[in-house]
Amino acid sequence: MDPILQAFWIVIDPYNLTVMTLAGLFGMFVGAMPGLTATMATALLIPVTFFMPPVPAVAAIVTATAMAIFAGDIPGALIRIPGTPSSAAYVADSYKLTQKGQAELVLGCCLVFSAIGGIFGSLALAFAAPALAEISLRFSSFEFFWIAIFGLTCAIFISTGHPIKGLVSVLLGLFIATVGIDPTAGQPRFTMGSVELLGGIDFIPVMIGMFAISELLRWVLGTRKVESLQTKQLGSVFRGQWALFLKYKWNTLRSSVLGVMIGFLPGAGSDIAAWVTYAISKKFSKEPEKFGTGHIEGVVDAGAANNSSLSGAWVPALVFGIPGDSITAIVIGVLYMKGLNPGPTLMLDQPEMLYAIFIVFMIANIVMLPLGWVAIKTFRHVLKVPREVLMPLILMACVVGSFAMNNTLFGVGIMLTMGIIAYFMEENGFPIAPTILGLVLGGLVENNFMTSMMKADGNLLAFFERPISAVLGVIVIAAWIWLIWSMIRAKPPLVTDEEASVT
């Protein structure tokens, strides 16, 4: 049977569709709840997806994250608290529009342009991934080594204002990846005599700890303010969106393309996409003075970009096995667990799986419209769920999720330790996403380096002898020179600490 048709059958399976709907509702809830992020939604979903077949597992993550990124706009517009960091860029505008009595317009705009951005991103993914996979089939360990290093480099200087702190974060992830039996010589490393550490540190408890436990700690130590909703009953959110689309069709296209490209860069996720496109929108706008005072243009741009970047991040994940952001870093782990080894051979061995993922993306972004409408209408009730009850339940879900990976309490210990470390890191300006990238890519970097050195008999110059490898190598070195130069010159960062910490 034709792989596309086969993929279609896999996706429209009632089990898969039920999983997608439930994951969508879950994503909406997490996204709309201030303080809970899309990455946290993914972290909490993993233990559940562990027990599902591959496509529903991926579908659950795709749907939940797409919904969470949109739903983060709702509290941003209505109570001035972005539900996820990806909505922080335009929260000033969207809230001021609500104050001007245009809550329906701005919420509809967030929903419709999120869906447009998401659908554009899905199309880009469907076309770019197979084309890139063709090229990457020619890659050897030399090229994969450089791509992984490039991923780590991007993670260092895109996601934070302090490159040194980003570097520490990446190194921590790389270090955690070295724990366990060494892949080439079979030497146990940093196991401290523990049998469980011999198998290495599983990244899922690490991730649950870093993204969920640290978040919980921040809530416990924070102000715990109870937000109240001032807006009265909302009318139709779809009215006026077509006119908006016609007016800003070029903005939408530009930001969707940029979103995909930023998502593609390892280490830069939807939050960076939103900040960058908002800034670009302001720069090229005919009315830049209106930005920040309740102007819809920036909302259109950044709203489309943060959703399109979600799909963009999947391109390097599926083609090279290199994650574009922390969510796809988690996804790569899930794909491996499911026997779908991400990389160019996925297209050859299981094309129907790849097509199924593209179709899932498309459906998730279309389903976003009705589900998003429900989320907007029921937001009032979501806000009423007491955080005092939700937080202990999340803690328990984290404990059980970490236990469920290997059915041992070892995972729970790892989760707790990493949660505390991540809390201190984030509070002091160390980004945590690079740690996850380092952990996921650590084994890949070391394996490819060792294989290459065995092939080249220890000659380091072999990394520059193949054409693609040489180009990638030069790009990485240039990026490092630029990084060091900018540190010496102390240039202002792309995203400042204050901006990055708005959640």
Partner 1 sequence: MRVADWVFGLILLIGAGLIFQQAAGFADMPGQDYGPAFVPSLIATGFTICGLVLIFTGIRARAPAFGLDPAARAPGRIFDALLTLGSVVFLMLVWDVLGFLISSTIVLTVLSARYWGGKIPQALLVGVIGSVVIDWLFRKLLLVPLPLGPLSRWMW
- The footprint of partner 1 on residues 132-171 (CB under 8 A) is 164, 167-168, 171
Dihedral in degrees, nearest 10, Cα atoms 65, 68, 70, 72: -140
Select 234 or 453, whichever has its Cβ closest to partner 1: 453
Q: Is 337 in the site for partner 1 (CB under 8 A)?
A: no
Q: Is 2 in the site for partner 1 (CB under 8 A)?
A: no
Q: Is 416 in the site for partner 1 (CB under 8 A)?
A: yes
Select 252 or 448, whichever has its Cβ closest to partner 1: 448
CA angle 382, 388, 393 (to 5 degrees): 85
Stretch that binds partner 1, among 212-220, 288-296, 308-316, 332-340 (CB under 8 A): 212-220
- Locus of tokens 């006119």: 243
Nearest-approach distance from CB 125 to partner 1, in angstroms: 30
Contact 437, 443 (CB under 8 A): no
Q: Is 12 in the site for partner 1 (CB under 8 A)?
A: no
Q: How many CB atoms lie within 10 A of CB 6?
A: 15
Q: Is 226 in the site for partner 1 (CB under 8 A)?
A: no
3-state secondary structure of 165: helix
Q: Is 477 in the site for partner 1 (CB under 8 A)?
A: no
Nearest-approach distance from CB 22 to partner 1, in angstroms: 12
How far from 108 is each of 46, 71, 72, 102, CA to CA, in Å? 31, 12, 13, 10
- The footprint of partner 1 on residues 29-58 (CB under 8 A) is 47-48, 50-51
17, 234, 420, 462: residue in contact with partner 1 (rule CB under 8 A): 420
Token digits of residue 158 = 């895109």
17, 22, 279, 397: residue in contact with partner 1 (rule CB under 8 A): 397
198, 454, 471, 474: residue in contact with partner 1 (rule CB under 8 A): 454
101, 386, 467, 492: residue in contact with partner 1 (rule CB under 8 A): 386
Rounded (to 5) percent helix, strand, coil in the chain:
75, 0, 25
22, 92, 279, 404: residue in contact with partner 1 (rule CB under 8 A): 404
With 0-12 / 13-18 / 19 or more C-beta atoms within 10 angstroms meaning exposed / middle / buried, residue 487 is middle
- Total number of residues that touch partner 1 (CB under 8 A): 57
| CA-based nearest residue to 395, from 202, 208, 141 | 208
Contact 109, 241 (CB under 8 A): yes
Nearest-approach distance from CB 144 to partner 1, in angstroms: 16
> In which element (H, E) is residue 180 found?
strand 180-181
Nearest-approach distance from CB 404 to partner 1, in angstroms: 4
Stretch that binds partner 1, among 78-86, 363-371, 419-427, 474-482 (CB under 8 A): 419-427
Q: How many CB atoms lie within 10 A of CB 152?
A: 25
Stretch that binds partner 1, among 219-227, 246-254, 268-276, 296-304 (CB under 8 A): 219-227
Q: Is 339 in the site for partner 1 (CB under 8 A)?
A: no
Select 19 or 376, whichever has its Cβ closest to partner 1: 19
Is the CA virtual torsion 364, 298, 305, 285 positive or negative? positive
Nearest-approach distance from CB 444 to partner 1, in angstroms: 12
Contact 197, 179 (CB under 8 A): yes
Q: Is 480 in the site for partner 1 (CB under 8 A)?
A: no
Q: Is 428 in the site for partner 1 (CB under 8 A)?
A: yes
Q: Is 409 in the site for partner 1 (CB under 8 A)?
A: yes
Q: Is 485 in the site for partner 1 (CB under 8 A)?
A: no
> In which element (H, E) is residue 188 found?
strand 188-189
Token digits of residue 361 = 């993306």
Select 49 or 306, whichever has its Cβ closest to partner 1: 49
Nearest-approach distance from CB 420 to partner 1, in angstroms: 7
Q: Is 465 in the site for partner 1 (CB under 8 A)?
A: no
Alpha helices by DSSP H, listed for 385-432, are: 387-406, 410-427
Torsion angles phi and psi, residue 189, rounded to 5: -120, 135
**Helices 387-406 and 410-427 meet at what angle, rounded to 10?**
130
| CA-based nearest residue to 410, from 202, 133, 269 | 202
Dihedral in degrees, nearest 10, Cα atoms 350, 352, 353, 358: 130
Q: Is 399 in the site for partner 1 (CB under 8 A)?
A: yes
Q: Is 123 in the site for partner 1 (CB under 8 A)?
A: no
Chain residues in the site for partner 1 (CB under 8 A): 47-48, 50-51, 164, 167-168, 171, 174-175, 178, 182, 184-185, 187, 189-190, 216-217, 220-224, 386-389, 391-393, 395-397, 399-400, 403-404, 407, 409, 412-413, 415-416, 420, 423-424, 427-428, 430, 445-446, 449-450, 453-454, 458
